[in-house]
Amino acid sequence: MAKQTRPPIIVVFGDESFQISQTISRRLDAVLPPEVDRGMAITAYDGALGEDAGGPSLAAVMDDLRTPSFFAAVRVVIIRDADKFVTAYREALEAYLEQPSPSGVLLLEVKSFPKTTRLYKRAIEIGGEVIECRRLAERDLPEFVIGAAHALGKKLRPAVAARLVQLIGSDQGLLTNETQKLAIYVGDNAEIADADVTALVGQSREEKIFSVMDAAGQGRLDEAMRLYRQALLSDPAAVFKAVGGVAFVLRRWLTAHEMLESGMSPRAVAPKVMMWGRENELREIMQRAPKSRVRRALAELAELDAQAKVGARSIEAGLESLLARIAS
């Protein structure tokens, strides 16, 4: 059979809900002319529901696909969460694809759609579309954010994109929404800056501790204490995570020392220890806090943690003393 110009079947599968939603929207735009009343051209089913609750039955779906619409040249039948439907009616769907309706498009949203199945192979043979939507690896998320900003006409530096990912998480829908908010927030400015992210999105609990340690590492004790107390006031639970945050930064400093000793430049080391574009600050911290001093601070922190767990010492007071020694 010759392939149709309009795909008789579109399968969108995977585990990234934002990508799936965007892909379905784009495919509907491609299949349906702009002037078409979508309410008349689209029939949608929730595959998670049983037939008695309004879910899809094979007979109803086939009837919808084969009945031309009076108001559009094409009728699209969408089955969301269609895994159970596909499993139950796989052979019937294979048979349908032997002679699909010339006016119907079946759009299936499923979690998986193996290439080894006859249904997959037949869908491809007749000109259907099979589109996978998988979660991006964490390392690829900053580039995704940069692309979202670019689509809105805004520049976003890699360090700022990485920070936004750190604050928001890996959900691509949330990242896109926050990027859109930031684009509106900066107005006519061509670039979304780190300060804009701080103003609109804020700082995570971990970032607040990182700021405390950056100030202490550069000898700014008053600023370190102010930031530390602000973190405790804004989030009382922060004190229970502070020891882990301080330990993380100290270990990061040790890693930076080792990289510098291996011959790497501060510019090359900075992004590897989450100090993007801040090689001058890194250089100052490394000079003020040599490796031996960082190791002593880690040992003191471990002792403080052990004492605090048995009620022998206050974490708040112990961390203030440690910050003072780091900043001295």
Supply the mean pLDDT for the chain.
Answer: 88
Domain identity same for 212 and 309: yes
Last residue of a domain, one of 200, 225, 244: 200
User: Are 299 and 221 in the same domain?
Assistant: yes
Please report which confidence band the pLDDT of residue 227 belongs to, taking 50, 70 and 90 as the band edges: confident
Q: What is the DSSP letter of 111?
A: S
Question: Do 196 and 214 lie in a common domain?
Answer: no
When pLDDT is cut at 50, 70 and 90, the band that residue 58 belongs to is: very high
Share of the chain above pLDDT 90, in %: 54
In 3D space, the residue among 324, 319, 321, 295 whose CA is nearest the CA of residue 308 turns out to be: 319
Residues 151 and 106 in one domain: no
pLDDT at 202: 65
More confident residue, 166 or 118: 118
183 in the same domain as 128: no
pLDDT for the residue 234: 63
Average pLDDT for 41-48: 93
Residue 1: pLDDT band with limits 50, 70, 90: very low
pLDDT at 179: 94
Domain extent for 275 = 205-327
pLDDT of residue 2: 42
Residues 251 and 282 in one domain: yes
pLDDT digit string, tens, across residues 258-287: 999 999 998 889 888 878 778 889 999 999
127: left (phi over 0), alpha (psi -120 to 50) or beta: left
Q: Which residues contact 191 (CB under 8 A, 6 or more apart)?
A: 154, 155, 156, 157
**Domain closes at, from 184, 200, 216:** 200
- Judge contact between 231 and 202, C-beta under 8 A: no
With vertex at residue 132, the alpha carbon angle to CA 128 and CA 136, rounded to the nearest 5 degrees, is 160
Tell me the per-residue pLDDT of 127-183, one tens digit each, with 9 for 90 and over.
Answer: 999 999 988 888 889 999 999 999 999 999 998 998 888 777 788 888 998 899 899
Same domain, 111 and 144: no
Looking up residue 98, the CATH number of its domain turns out to be 3.40.50.300
pLDDT class of 117 with cuts at 50, 70, 90: very high
CA angle 64, 1, 91 (to 5 degrees): 50
Among residues 112, 133, 154, the one where a domain terminates is 133
319 and 221 in one domain? yes
pLDDT for res 238: 64
Count of structural domains, the chain: 3
Give the dihedral sign, CA 144/150/151/152.
positive
pLDDT tens for 70-115 read 777 889 999 999 999 999 999 999 999 999 999 999 999 999 999 9
pTM of the model: 0.57
Query: How confident is the model at residue 206, as a pLDDT?
Result: 64
**pLDDT for 3:** 45
Interatomic CA distance for residues 55 and 79, integer angstroms = 9
Beta pairing, strands 75-80 & 104-110: parallel
What local confidence, expressed as pLDDT, does residue 228 receive? Answer: 84
CATH of the domain at 188: 1.10.8.60
Strands of 57-210 (E only): list them. Answer: 75-80, 104-110, 129-133, 155-156, 191-192
Q: Are 75 and 68 in contact (CB under 8 A)?
A: yes
Tens-digit pLDDT profile for residues 292-301: 999 999 999 8
- Residue 3 in domain: no
Residue 1 inside a domain? The answer is no
Give the confidence band of 4 by pLDDT, cuts at 50, 70, 90.
low
